Amino acid sequence: DGDRGPNTGGMGSYSPVAEVDAARAGEICRAVHQPVLDELNRRGIAFHGVLYAGLMMTAAGPRVLEFNVRFGDPETQAILPRLRSDLLALLHAATEPGGLHGAELEWSPEAAVTVVLASDGYPAGSSSGDVIDGLEAISPAVYVTHAGTARLPSGELVTAGGRVLSLTGLGADVAAARAGAYAAADTVEFHGKQLRRDIALRSAA
């Protein structure tokens, strides 16, 4: 919590981010994404798909931590539940010449907050085989995304990796969405469960 501790995979996300409006997003794309696309074009490489940039915002502007050609995890879990447009149609358009140029995306006005539950020992290691309880008691309004889980022949769900589950709450604002996500996080139990308690805290204030 408080941006302290060891480096981990993403432990939470939220959407929308009030500090990043359309103008700011455009600035980031021009500074970060466009140079990559220009270089691919210079090399004669046609790229169709997702170009995800993991960024850290600093006083000097965005700094790139990583690029991926897939959606971010857990960023996607807080974005897709708000998308009202047809995702399949958008993905198909991204593979065609012209891509998403001119596409109009429709978004729900709701906010979404995602909280990741990690296993005992993460990030230095992980614990497998710990029984996961409480999923059946989670509100049906909360999205549950499995990651490091497995099902035993007995039918029990157990941990099977570092980041185990992500729980996404929706609400009229970030505070309401955050309350739903953390209520679900507190309902799920397994040995050594770890989570951050400050996801979207500043935006919910």
Pairing between β-strand 157-160 and β-strand 143-146 as defined by DSSP bridges: unpaired
CB 8 within 8 A of CB 123: yes
Strand partners, 170: 112
DSSP 136: G
- According to the model, what pLDDT value does residue 161 have? 95
- According to the model, what pLDDT value does residue 102 have? 85
DSSP 70: S
Query: Using only C-alpha atoms, what is the Rg of the chain?
Result: 19
- Residue pointed to by tokens 């980041």: 163
Residue type, 82: R
The phi-psi region of residue 42 (left if phi > 0; otherwise alpha if psi is between -120 and 50; otherwise beta) is alpha
Contacts of 180 (CB under 8 A, 6+ apart): 113, 139, 141, 142, 169, 170, 171
Gap between the Cα atoms of 125 and 83, Å rounded:
35
Q: Is 170 exposed, middle or buried (0-12, 13-18, 19+ CB in 10 A)?
A: buried
The CATH number corresponding to 111-204 among 3.20.20.70, 2.40.37.10, 3.90.600.10, 3.30.1360.20 equals 3.90.600.10
pLDDT (tens, 9 = 90+) of the chain, 205 residues, equals 887 888 899 999 999 998 888 899 999 999 999 999 999 999 999 888 889 999 988 888 889 999 999 999 999 999 999 999 999 999 999 888 888 888 889 999 999 999 999 999 999 999 999 999 999 999 999 999 999 999 999 999 999 999 999 999 999 999 999 999 999 999 999 999 999 999 999 898 7
CB 159 within 8 A of CB 190: yes
Q: What is the CATH number of domain 12-94?
A: 3.30.470.20
What's the residue count for the chain?
205
Residue ranges per structural domain of the chain: 12-94, 111-204
Strand partners, 143: 168
